[in-house]
């Protein structure tokens, strides 16, 4: 990654073509830009990874495992094994964002929080929050004695 970053900072992207001669193609702006974005995101994920040693984040060990295996297979040029692990990594990293977008869509479609309690985030499709050790944090919902559907 240091190699790619130093080439970008020096403004000499032709150095990339020496390392990736069949991937970096002069005149293929879309393909070259796609690779650049891929490498930038890979660098971000790699350098943001150490944040996972924070206890609140440690429970997300599956992200680390996917990243290590995707990196390992890519560095060994076993791209057939790298692809599924890179895809798994993308899915677990993006999972929270996908959930938030889906929940926002649900709230917009139902014109409000329908099917779950927004104060406790509990409902039939929402699991209770968990501690780093995996224990459920259960809070008593503050439901009214009578429910009104108005």
pLDDT at position 121 is: 67
Work out the mean pLDDT of the chain and round it to a whole number: 76
The C-alpha atoms of residue 89 and residue 70 are separated, in whole angstroms, by 8
pLDDT > 90: percent of the chain: 14
pLDDT level of residue 126 (50, 70, 90 thresholds)? low
Average pLDDT, stretch 12-21?
Answer: 76
Q: Which residue has the tokens 């990654």?
A: 1
Dist CA 51 CA 43 (whole Å): 14
Q: Three-state secondary structure along the chain?
A: CHHHHHHHHHCCCHHHHHHCCCCCCCCCHHHHHHHHHHHHHHHHHHHHHHHHHCHHHHCCHHHHHHHHHHHHHHHCCCHHHHHHHHHHHHHHHHHHHHHHHHHHHHHHHCCCCCCCECCCCEECCECCCECCCCCECCCCCCCCCCCCCC
Q: What is the pLDDT of residue 106?
A: 81
| pLDDT per residue as tens digits for the range 33-62 | 888 888 888 888 777 767 766 666 665 677
Global pTM exceeds 0.75: no
* pLDDT exceeds cutoff 80 at 74: yes
């Amino acid at each position: 990654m240091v190699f790619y970053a130093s080439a970008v900072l020096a403004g000499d992207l032709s150095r990339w073509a020496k390392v990736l001669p069949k991937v970096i193609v002069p005149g293929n702006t879309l393909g070259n830009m796609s690779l650049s974005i891929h490498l930038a995101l890979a660098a971000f994920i790699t350098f943001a990874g150490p944040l996972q040693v924070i206890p609140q984040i440690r429970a997300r060990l599956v992200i680390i495992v996917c990243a290590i295996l995707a990196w390992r297979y890519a560095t060994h040029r076993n791209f057939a094994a790298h692809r599924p692990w890179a895809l798994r990594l993308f899915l677990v990293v993006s999972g929270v964002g996908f959930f938030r977008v889906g929940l926002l869509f649900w709230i917009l479609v139902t014109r409000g929080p329908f099917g779950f309690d927004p104060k406790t985030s509990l409902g039939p499709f929402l699991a209770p929050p968990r501690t780093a050790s995996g224990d459920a944090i259960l809070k008593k919902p503050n439901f009214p004695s009578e429910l009104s559907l108005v």
